[in-house]
Amino acid sequence: MKITELSPQYSVSPQVSTQDIPELKRLGFDIVVNNRPDGESEDQPSSEEIQSAVESAGLRYVYNPINLGQLSSTEVSVQNELIQSEEKVFAYCRTGTRSSVLWVLARHNDDVSFNQLFAEVAEKGFDLNRCLPAMQPLIK
Tell me the per-residue pLDDT of 16-30, one tens digit each, with 9 for 90 and over. Answer: 999 999 999 999 999
pLDDT tens readout for residues 36-92: 999 899 889 999 999 999 999 999 999 999 999 899 999 999 999 999 999 999 999
Distance CA 93, CA 47 (A): 11
pTM, two decimal places: 0.93
CATH of domain 4-138: 3.90.190.10
Answer whether residue 111 shows pLDDT above 90: no
Contacts of 8 (CB under 8 A, 6+ apart): none
- Please check whether residue 102 is in contact with residue 76, taking contact to mean a CB–CB distance below 8 angstroms: yes
